[in-house]
């Protein structure tokens, strides 16, 4: 079973998660292996643009139908692009895509959740730009927590 390793004492006086803002990468233990899940960096985002484009388009279509998506709705979008998502998770975790595909479902779900938490802004901002929505406005309208049952930041029309 996957186990998330949380940094200790990451809140400042205003309650913001300093570590998450400055260094959003997170660690998790999956199938007995400690893994760091990275936020996509600029150059990397350009290199993987062809992989992210179909997912961003699907999120854009989903956001046109509703203002906010919950985690299950996001997973439904991601599932439409399972081969791309597993490849993107592998990139962010510096693992082989075959390793990600072979994970036990519970481990894969936990890893995908953490990957989404770390990289959701990348996808939401891109979908927001397509909708012509101010990204800061959309983020303040629907922040997410690490909980799968929370709303996912989404553009509002």
Lowest mean per-residue pLDDT among 11-20, 27-36, 39-48, 125-134: 11-20
Instruction: Assess contact for 95 and 102: CB atoms under 8 A.
Output: no
Q: What integer pLDDT is reported at residue 106 of this predicted model?
A: 96
Q: With a threshold of 0.85, does the pTM exceed it?
A: no
Instruction: Assess contact for 144 and 151: CB atoms under 8 A.
Output: yes
pLDDT digits (tens, 9 = 90+) for 64-101: 898 789 999 999 999 999 999 999 999 999 999 999 99
Mean pLDDT of the chain: 80
Task: Indicate the SS3 state at residue 48.
Answer: coil
Domain ranges for the chain: 40-152
What phi and psi, each to the nearest 5 degrees, are found at residue 66? -150, 150
pLDDT digits (tens, 9 = 90+) for 122-145: 999 999 898 886 545 444 444 443
Strand residues in the chain grouped as ranges (E): 3-5, 26-30, 33-37, 69-70, 151-152
Per-residue CA distances from 64 to 61, 127, 128 (Å): 5, 10, 10
What phi and psi, each to the nearest 5 degrees, are found at residue 19? -60, -40
pLDDT over 80 (residue 61)? yes
Q: What integer pLDDT is reported at residue 13 of this predicted model?
A: 46
Instruction: Assess contact for 31 and 37: CB atoms under 8 A.
Output: no
Q: What integer pLDDT is reported at residue 24 of this predicted model?
A: 82
Q: What integer pLDDT is reported at residue 156 of this predicted model?
A: 42
Q: What integer pLDDT is reported at residue 131 of this predicted model?
A: 85
Mean local confidence (pLDDT), 111-115: 97
Which DSSP state fits 16?
A: -
């Amino acid at each position: 079973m996957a186990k998330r390793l949380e940094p200790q004492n990451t809140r400042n006086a205003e309650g913001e998660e300093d570590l998450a803002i400055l260094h959003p990468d997170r660690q998790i233990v999956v199938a007995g292996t400690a893994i760091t899940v990275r936020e996509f960096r600029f150059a990397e985002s350009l290199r993987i643009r062809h992989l992210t484009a179909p997912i961003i388009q699907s999120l854009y279509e989903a956001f046109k139908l509703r203002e906010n998506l919950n985690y299950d709705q996001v997973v439904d979008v991601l599932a439409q692009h399972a081969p791309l998502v597993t490849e993107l998770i592998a990139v962010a975790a510096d693992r082989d895509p075959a390793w990600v595909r072979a994970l036990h479902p519970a481990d894969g779900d936990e890893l995908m959740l953490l990957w989404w938490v770390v990289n959701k802004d990348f996808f939401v901002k891109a979908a927001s730009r397509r909708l012509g929505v101010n990204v800061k406005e959309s983020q303040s309208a629907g922040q997410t927590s690490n909980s799968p049952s929370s709303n996912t930041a989404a553009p509002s029309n």
